[in-house]
Chain A
Amino acid sequence: MSYEVLARKYRPQTFAGLTGQEHVSRTLQNAIDTGRVAHAFLFSGARGVGKTSTARILAKALNCEQGVSLEPCNVCPQCKEITDGSSTDVFEIDGASNTGVDDVRELRDNSRYLPSHSRYKIYIIDEVHMLSTNAFNALLKTLEEPPPHVKFIFATTEPHKLPITILSRCQRFDFKRVPLIKIVGRLREIADQEGIVISDAALALVARKGDGSMRDSITCFDQVLAFCGNTVADEDVATLVGVVDRRLLAELSSAVFAGNTQGALEGVRRVDAFGYNVRQFTQELIIHFRNLLIIRSVPKPGEILDLAEAELEELRQQAGEQSAADIQRRLTLLVKAEGEMAHASFPRLLLEMALLKMANLQPVLPIQQLLDRIKHLETGIAQTTPELWSAPATAQQSTPRNIAPPRQEAAAASVAPAPVAPAGGVGGGWERFVTFCLEQKPALGALLEHGSPLAYAPDRIEIGFPEGSYYLTSLQDVDNKKAVDALAALYMHQPTVVKVVSITAAGDGASPCSLAEKKKHDEEQRRDSIQREVNEHPVVQEALRVLGGEIVEIKEL
């Protein structure tokens, strides 16, 4: 016959055999003892802690031919049938496969009939959290007031998925995770019965792998036995269970601390070559960094870490000069990578990236040190401030002087080629006249701004416009002409002849520039000088030097 795995072979058959769930077995036994057995139970808890086993034991205790007893006899036909799963009155239903309301209706209809040859009709619904909402609701009435010969036992790993109406109708038992020491004890019993030689340390490794679940631990134990036969060596267990070599962890952490990227990646390659699960390895690495962190941040790490003095010393050496903050930042990177591994297809790549980041991390400075530095800088600035800020003051004072000459030069330059107009006089008078016109008649003034003053005297004004331009035609318009004449007379306090002439493109150079052109030119000049001023300003230069920037744009505020 084929092999029956240990987890099934050593499934507990009595309340006494249940490991780590004494609170459940005692309560149930007391209930049986005092005749206060409820009609509906809910067993919840993590995987592999004994929910289904307890359900079967309870069923046997209730239906045993020896009478309702504290422990089932396990020898009567009833008990045996239940153990085999062939009892006609104990229905073990897979709640995850029979999820529909129809399944529940069938169950409800059948529950009305008396049990065929037992005391109770017992429905064990395993994985009950998978029932549909309709199925749950269809069960409610029966669950509240079942016929006296019916008992319900529900088992689930996810009680939060059950509707509250179901929960309130059941006696609920929460199964605890099994403590490590009890798992080891149970494994030892199994080992003795199977005639297996194995050390306690190896059993502890196996038990730890189970993470509080008895079935996980026994499955793992089975695997170890399958590999090692009846005599189990400690090293074999370590390899099989996938316990990561401490030296590899130490090498990786020191590579990371030393900023040795190559060493870190080499470590990952070895992890992969050993056939470790990358995610599991990352978890081990996280624990390792946690230990380092504790070593660095707690005065007496020995009390928190369950490690031998030699190991502590080793860790202390590895932590070296690293500050707790630095270790913590690396730990955070690892934890993040580990979280991402759960739903990524490149666990190795994620580990590599995390290690590279960890290796390239710059050490952080304590805030106090930074504050001190800032304070130091501040005092330094306070001393240098007068000279730094005096410079712009002088620059500002000199600004008008600096800017003025170019403006005059520019005016001269622009007017110089105009032989007709003696720059200053015509320019100045003309400018005032245009300003006057702008005040009186803005539209007209705006037109005049574009004209070149060919001649300007109290009795005669001659304005030139580019040939064919809009301004020329506008001013040649009779109404505008009259308005200009009137304004000129008003301004000069005498009748003035205003002549509007066209300037040919060729003759452009000979005419003085219009006010608009002049404005534009002046603006350019001003920008140039501001830029020059900014570039030469000592504060700006200092800022550029310190921050290593460049001037992209200058804005006037």
Chain B
Amino acid sequence: MPLSAIKGQNRVIDALKRSITANRVAHAYLFEGPDGCGRRTTALALMQALFCKEPIDGDACGSCSSCRKLASGNHPDLHLLSPLPDKRDISIEQIRELQQQLSLRPFEAKRKACLIEPAERMNEKSANALLKTLEEPPGHAIIILLTTQADLLLSTIRSRCQHLRFSPLDDSSVVELLVQQGMASSKALELAPLAEGSMERATALEEESDAVRRQELLALLSKVSSKHIATVFDVAESVAGGREETVLTFNLLISLLRDLLLIRSCGQVGIANRFLHTELTAEAARFTPTGSMEILERALEIRRAVQGNANPKLAMERFLLTYDRLRKGV
């Protein structure tokens, strides 16, 4: 995909296109932005533009062999670096292998390219091992790091890259992209606000599992009561799953709780789960404003605990008990 075809990131695309025409493309970029806002697509588009055999105005043609290879992800000079399937971090061995690869001559293109995603998964050792390469890559290779939070990277890494920040997609871009993917425009309009600027989420929403799940969760929440203590444990049993799954559940819960807080403190403006708004209003009425704030804080705290090493089911039980306690305003 050529750079000009990327939607909703005009500021970034503009900057990149200008640097291509001015021949000022840096050798290291840091793309920061939320998931699903087009960082990866942009990174690949930039590489296509740099590798393209018949560039049009500095942008990729999209049809030459190099562009097609990059698009299908099998260009021999493109190195993708992600944590190995069974590992949490990008290991120092992977970085060493990359360094070795980059020191070789490129096969087809003028230079080699490397995409590290997610860059914050480099642990201290591997990040440090990358520093020298990142500052002066051999053979003018281009290295692009993708991250959701640049703050998580070493300051020494950040200082070696050109830092481009991607904003979440606005709703109209999400709608446009969804329609492009063949969704009915009415449905796209409905889903766009829920996606919170992420195409990834929008695609997940398409299967409706997400919306249904939110509705279920809200229904379960309103049902929980410590008067019938069994309900708490039943719900926790049914909702909690593995660590990753529970964190995702907490993300949804946090989204719901944020809406409760907003309804409680300043009316209906800006709530994300608009399709649930009657249920949300009913639930919000059972909270005091401070209670709705506190439960959100607790939820964030418990979510962090689950991300750590807390038992997901216990965490969920604790959350539900807190939820019930705060709801009564005690």
Residues of A within 8 A of B (CB): 1-3, 5, 8, 46-48, 52, 85, 94, 96-97, 99, 126-127, 129-130, 157, 213, 215-216, 219, 222-223, 225-229, 240, 242, 261-262, 265-266, 269, 272-275, 277, 279, 341-347, 349-350, 352-353, 356-357, 360
Contact = CB atoms under 8 A, between A and B. Distances in A.
B15 A275 contact: no
Contact of B151 (A52, A85, A262, A342): A342
Given A96-B125, A126-B131, 11 more contacts: A5-B28, A219-B160, A226-B22, A227-B18, A227-B19, A265-B270, A266-B270, A272-B167, A274-B167, A277-B32, A344-B304
A223 B24 CA distance: 9
Given A213-B159, A226-B19, A353-B297, A94 B24 contact: no
B136 A8 contact: yes
Nearest to B128: A96
16 contacts: A5-B26, A96-B125, A96-B130, A96-B131, A127-B128, A130-B125, A219-B26, A223-B163, A226-B22, A226-B162, A265-B269, A273-B167, A277-B32, A344-B300, A347-B149, A360-B290
Contacts of A1: 140
Given A47-B159, A226-B18, A342-B151, A349 B258 contact: yes
A261 B266 contact: yes
Nearest to B142: A2
A275 B165 contact: yes
A223 B159 contact: no
Nearest to A52: B135
Interface residues of B, number: 64
Contact of A94 (B129, B254, B265): B129
A489 to B, nearest CB: 63
A2 B110 contact: yes
A360 B289 contact: yes
Contacts of A240: 15
A349 B257 CA distance: 11
A108 B24 CA distance: 42
Contact of B18 (A48, A229, A274, A347): A229
B262 interface: yes
Nearest to B307: A345
B328 interface: no
Given A273-B167, A357-B293, A226 B110 contact: no
- Smallest CB-CB A-B distances: 6 pairs: A226-B19, A275-B167, A96-B128, A94-B132, A261-B266, A262-B266
A343 to B, nearest CB: 8
A97 B96 contact: yes
B25 interface: yes
B180 interface: no
Nearest to B168: A272
B10 to A, nearest CB: 10
B160 A2 contact: no
A222 B258 contact: no
B170 A273 contact: yes
A272 B270 CA distance: 13
Contacts of A52: 135
A97 B26 CA distance: 23
Nearest to A157: B156
A277 B30 CA distance: 14
A96 B132 contact: yes
B99 A97 contact: yes
Contact of A353 (B136, B149, B293): B293
Contacts of B26: 3, 5, 219, 222-223, 226
A47 B261 contact: no
B105 interface: no
Contact of B162 (A85, A222, A350, A357): A222
A198 B217 CA distance: 56
Contacts of A343: 152, 304
B40 interface: no
Contacts of B158: 216
A3 B297 contact: no
A97 B163 CA distance: 24
B81 interface: no
B27 interface: yes
Given A219-B161, A223-B162, A96 B293 contact: no
Contact of B296 (A229, A275, A353): A353
Contact of A346 (B14, B18, B170, B300): B300
Contacts of B110: 2
Nearest to B35: A345
A339 to B, nearest CB: 11
Given A3-B26, A229-B22, A346 B99 contact: no
A219 B159 contact: yes
A157 B258 CA distance: 41
Nearest to A349: B258
Contacts of B92: 97, 99
B174 interface: no
B265 A275 contact: no
Query: Of A5, A226, A357, which is in contact with the most chain B CB atoms at under 10 Å from its CB?
Result: A226
Nearest to B156: A47
Given A85-B136, A223-B15, A265 B297 contact: no
A213 B163 CA distance: 15
B72 interface: no
B243 interface: no
A100 to B, nearest CB: 11
Contacts of A94: 129, 131-133
A216 B159 contact: yes
Interface string B172-196: 0000000000000000000000000
Contacts of A126: 131-132
A352 B19 contact: no
B274 interface: no
A311 to B, nearest CB: 27
A480 B18 CA distance: 114
A5 B27 contact: yes
A225 B293 CA distance: 45
Interface in B280-309: 289-290, 293, 296-297, 300, 304
A356 B261 contact: yes
